[in-house]
Chain A
Amino acid sequence: MSSLVYFSSVSENTHRFVQRLGLEELGIGVHRIPVRRTDEFLRVDEPYVLMVPTYGGGNEGGAVPRRVREFLNDAHNRSFIRGVIAAGNTNFGAAYCIAGDIISAKCQVPYLYAFELLGTAEDARRVRDGLGRFWQRQSLISA
């Protein structure tokens, strides 16, 4: 089994992008990292690609949302990450989508895709197709 784990704040930007992907139709499970610390902690037991928004600023501190850092601090969760997709805004210059760079380097997984804000129809198509092929290839490698 394979899945997508994502974080989206109360602005719901990333959530809306995920909704447009229709991943369930491809047999890819979707799990959302809870927004609040008081919500139940998410534990995953299958390989996943992580999708996160980059919190915008001029520095790297706080670029990865805190709930995502907590999720990855859990060694069990971290052991299943296979790739990362980041959202951001080019207005943040060199820090554009830098959450993807940070997670990719820390977890040693490929940085699969970057998109802006809610993503375009083209972004949604490429991510959907790309994830389908990615998991197909992964299953061939592990078989």
Chain B
Amino acid sequence: MSPTGTLKLIDRVTAINWNRLQDEKDLEVWDRLVGNFWLPEKVPVSNDIQSWHTLSDDEKLMTTRVFTGLTLLDTIQGTVGAVSLIPDALTPHEEAVYTNIAFMESVHAKSYSSIFSTLISTKEIDDAFAWSEANPNLQRKAEIVLEYYRGDDPLKRKVASTMLESFLFYSGFYAPMYWASRAKLTNTADLIRLIIRDEAVHGYYIGYKYQKGLAKLPQAEQDELKAYTFDLLFELYENEVEYTESLYGPLGLTEDVKKFLRYNANKALMNLGYEGLFPKDETDVNPAILAALSPNADENHDFFSGSGSSYVIGKAVETEDDDWDF
């Protein structure tokens, strides 16, 4: 079954015209991605060398393995994942956005290499890559996603891709946020935050395109895809839990990481247009991790639950927008 299989992008070569948009979201996201463009050279990771040497051997091992795992996922997304979405694109602008996403994933994969070469010896890097090739959960995660990328259903491909962008990276992203919360490897964390920011736009966009495609299908097929999405999430989640244990178990961090996983699993579902699955008390991310991710997230933006006596006005922010009239 390939509901949009008959939709071919072009049957003759057509030049891309950004002045005739079929979906304005394409240009909006393109502009956002271009505005967010960065390269790893701009982050002074070498300032973390001293900090790296304060880590215990177990901590170094965990961190190195985390980064090889992330490298593997970004390699998949850059060379197979985002590229596999291109033939399914409904507009030439959508194609262009995927090429941008694919390129940035390659930038991400290269960033991990620059972290490695700065902090770790060649021997340790080789050992970590050997570990990533032998770790069954990491390989399983890659297999599951690759299977859908090679499959023939464009919408399932988008689900798998959104899961990767919005969920599967986070068992890895936890580690640099953990170190940042302890004032360690802070430059590395700055670099990872740039990656995290990109993944948010990628997950949002691919999830949005999934929803656009979904809306064109009859209800029965929509229901089937929803069930498929949740099944896939469970399959990936179970695997993530084992993967997390293999990485963080020796440091006693597994339970803390699992909350972060579930929190992000919910966000992946939301990017696909579904409500979160895991309840509040299973997604209460350690406030230190959340603050490392977003210093703005732990500020009290809940005027409603207060007494009402405190009148919170947002802090002044200079905007670069020139079309405010006041």
A residues at B contact (CB < 8 Å): 9-13, 16, 55-64, 66, 69-70, 72-73, 75, 78, 83-84, 86, 89-98, 100-106, 108-114, 116-118, 120-122, 126-127, 129-131, 133-134, 137
Can you give 19 contacting A-B residue pairs, CB < 8 Å? A11-B211, A55-B32, A56-B197, A58-B35, A60-B318, A75-B326, A90-B290, A90-B293, A91-B199, A95-B296, A102-B314, A102-B317, A109-B313, A110-B311, A111-B312, A127-B304, A133-B304, A133-B308, A134-B304
Whether B304 and A113, one on each chain, are in contact in the complex, defined by CB atoms closer than 8 angstroms, is yes
CB-CB contacts below 8 Å: B274-326 with A:
275-276, 280, 290, 293-297, 301-305, 308, 311-321, 323-326
Contact of A93 with B294 in the complex, beta carbons under 8 Å: yes
B326 pairs with A106, CB closer than 8 A: yes
In the docked arrangement, what's the CA distance between A23 and B314, Å? 25
Closest B residue by C-beta to A98 = B317
Instruction: Known A73-B326, A98-B296; judge A111-B267 contact (CB<8 A).
Output: no
Q: Which of A16, A73, A109 contacts B324 (CB 8 A)?
A: A73
Query: Does chain A have a CB within 8 A of B24?
Result: yes
Compute the total of residue contacts between A and B using a CB distance below 8 Å.
Answer: 165
In the docked arrangement, what's the CA distance between A72 and B324, Å? 8
The minimal Cβ–Cβ distance linking A100 to chain B, given in whole angstroms, is 6
Total chain B interface residues with beta-carbon distance under 8 A: 52
Q: Does B90 contact A (CB under 8 A)?
A: no
How far is it, in angstroms, between the C-alpha of A117 and the C-alpha of B266 when the chains are bound?
10
Q: Are A11 and B25 in contact (CB under 8 A)?
A: yes
- Give the residue among A90, A118, A122, A127 with the most B Cβ atoms within 10 A: A90
Q: How far is the CA of A104 from the CA of B267 in the complex (A)?
A: 26
Residues in chain A near residue B261, CB distance under 8 A: none
Collect the chain B residues with CB atoms within 8 Å of residue A57's CB: 32, 35-36, 197
